[in-house]
Structure 1
Amino acid sequence: MPQAVDPGVTIATMSLDDHPDFVAMMQRTPGVVLRQADGREATARYLARNPGMSFVARWPGRAGIVGCAMSGHDGRRGYLQHVMVDPECRGLGLGRRLTERCLQALLAAGIEKVHLDTLADNADAHRFWTHLGWSNRNAEIVRFSRLLVDDPNA
């Protein structure tokens, strides 16, 4: 059974300097899709619009980041995005800690309800969010999306 998070793990506010590590982590994490909206400029806009609400985890002796959670809000509802933990570091509580940091930041901003999306076939994510007490609302909510550009990877 995995042990609790190593006390040497640090969780820090995400900055644009973390972007290369963020992209590398997305590329090596099963169930995560890298889109153009994850590019440097879009990430810079997101972090500027939602300061202090996204976090990365670093493990001593390991290059790059081993966890990430991004969050933001529209003034009424909060949203979690790109909550991921390196596959080799799962089961140690990092995802929970990163999520809690995001939720604390959102609550401090006056946000009382938070949403997140997962890909329909990401069973690992579904188990994780259910384990943390989140509700799957697909019986009552249908998400519609519309591309504003001619690029399916937008």
Structure 2
Amino acid sequence: MINVTYYSFRKEDCQEVLNLWLNIPGIHLHSNGEDSIEGIAAYLERNQGCSFVAKYDGKIIGAVMCGHDGRRGFIHHLAVDNKFRRMEIGKTLVQISLEQLRKVSIKKCALFVLKENTEAENFYKSLQWQEEDIVKIYAKIL
């Protein structure tokens, strides 16, 4: 097993994390500014201590953005470098994010998976996440 370090996702990590996300199939980055360094930094500021990165040998190999609106938690853009998959890094990133949500009394967390990302679907199902069929997501670019 490799020695992975986990710590809170910081503004200084944004460019390296963006580079990771750009190389992971199944991650969709928005071009309207929300997935820019500034947009991510603002999200991290509003949701301090909920998002995490995994580092090995000085390089970020995994990351997750997590936050809440005071009522529900949300997980965005969980990714692990392909060379480091199946080592429980993604599972650990999700677990420590959920621990942070529990600390602020969040009772339920949701996440978004692209329709064609069956690998992500299988991953979350293996962690006992359940697909909900009671909502549809609508979006509008502002």
- TM-score where L is the length of structure 1: 0.87
State the 1:34 CA deviation: 2.0
**Among 96, 104, 116, which residue is 1:109 paired with?**
104
Counterparts of residues 61-72 of structure 1 (less than 5 Å): 64-72=59-67
Gaps of 5+ in 2: none
**What is the CA–CA distance in structure 2 between the aligned matches of 1:55 and 1:17, rounded to whole Å?**
13
Gaps of 5+ in 1: 149-154
State the 1:40 CA deviation: 1.1
1:52 aligns with 2:46: no
**What is the CA–CA distance in structure 2 between the aligned matches of 1:86 and 1:141, rounded to whole Å?**
31
Match of 1:41 in 2: 38
**What is the CA–CA distance in structure 2 between the aligned matches of 1:24 and 1:141, rounded to whole Å?**
32
**What is the CA–CA distance in structure 2 between the aligned matches of 1:24 and 1:41, rounded to whole Å?**
15
**Among 3, 10, 13, which residue is 1:18 paired with?**
13
1:79 aligns with 2:74: yes
State the 1:64 CA deviation: 2.9
Question: Number of residues paired by the alignment?
Answer: 140
CA RMSD of aligned residues (A): 1.0
The one-character-per-residue Cα deviations of 1:38-97 (angstroms, maximum 9, x if unpaired) are: 10111111011000110000112xx53110011100000000111111111110000000
**Among 132, 136, 142, which residue is 1:142 paired with?**
136
**What is the CA–CA distance in structure 2 between the aligned matches of 1:147 and 1:13, rounded to whole Å?**
29
Runs of 4+ more than 4 Å apart: none
**What is the CA–CA distance in structure 1 between the aligned matches of 2:120 and 2:23, rounded to whole Å?**
15
Identical-pair percentage: 33
Alignment-mate amino acid for residue 141 of structure 1: V
